[in-house]
Amino acid sequence: QAAKAAVNYTPTKADYQKVYNRIAEIMDDAGEYDDGSYGPVLLRLAWHASGTYDKATNTGGSNYATMRFDPEALHAANAGLAVARGLMDQVKREFPWISYGDLWTLGGVAAVQEMGGPKIPWRPGRIDGYARDATPDGRLPDAAQGAGHVKEIFARMGFTDQEAVALCGAHALGRCHRDRSGYDGPWTFSPTTFTNDYYTLLFDESWVWKKWGGPKQLEDKKTRSLMMLPTDYVLTQDTHFKKHAKAYAADSALFFRDFSAAFARLLELGVPFAAAEPWEMRSLDEQK
């Protein structure tokens, strides 16, 4: 491999496409794991690596990939992400020239695109940092809190309410795990397909507090098989959030467009890029 052998070789878009492809293959090779895909947990890794960004101090974010180090790896918000980091380590062994921050964010891009979501413009440029670059605990949102907390956390990263609402639509994918966050269950009936179902379900179903020994979460009254976190439910309660959540429930194309823009921006927070324009990586399907 040219990229591996030559010291001064700068990897090209084609090299990163190879990494993307390997991630996409591993994602699908999940056997009995969860709903048969590692996509959701890889997306959560990309988000937690990026969502530590603090605009005021320009610290945190996906540059440096500090979740590799304790204590950040052990922060409660990151419980369960060792699964995703382990999968990414397999890819890193095959393509050792890629930085961890580029690898993890490219994983998020592959997850969204391969599960049927919008194209996410992406470019490399993150470098590996040190444990001393790690961010303090408490920068990621706490699911037990209300609208004020959600606004505050996303505003700290530099996001508007509209962007915060669009980003939360990622909960169409994946599920909560008792042994990770303490919460339990999926948000939608198709947790491995990127849709705007998160918003339609928020408004179309009746949500009631689940009676159980676990943390406060809601369940749909009809099937009792879906869940919402307190922070998901506030999108229907806060008037500013509600306006955007309603718009995304009514218009899937609008959600796809706004999610793509906000997620691409999330992945680049705090990353000092060279001038290069972002790329559109091709899905496995497009390369058939």
Hey, which residues are catalytic here?
48, 187
Q: Please, which residues have CB within 8 angstroms of residue 155's CB and are 6 or more apart in sequence?
A: none
CB of 96 to ligand HEM, least distance (A): 26
CB closer to ligand HEM out of 134 and 150: 150
Query: Is residue 44 a contact residue for ligand HEM (CB under 6 A)?
Result: yes
- Min separation Cβ 9 and ligand HEM, Å: 33
Do the Cβ atoms of 262 and 175 come closer than 8 Å? no
The closest of 163, 110, 117 to 269, measured between CA atoms, is 163
The answer to whether the beta carbons of residues 88 and 103 sit under 8 Å apart is: yes
Near ligand HEM by CB under 6 A: residue from 3, 103, 176, 202: 176
Q: Which of 19, 98, 168, 264 binds ligand HEM (CB under 6 A)?
A: 168
Residue with nearest beta carbon to ligand HEM = 174
Shortest separation between residue 234's beta carbon and ligand HEM, angstroms = 8
C-alpha gyration radius of the chain? 18
Closest CA to 176 of 232, 258, 253: 232
264 binds ligand HEM (CB under 6 A): no
CB atoms within 10 A of CB 22: 15
Distance separating alpha carbons of residues 277 and 55, to the nearest angstrom: 22
Q: How far is the CB of 171 from ligand HEM (least distance, A)?
A: 6
Binding residues for ligand HEM (CB under 6 A): 40-41, 43-44, 47, 80, 141, 143, 150, 167-168, 170-171, 173-177, 180-181, 183, 229, 231, 263
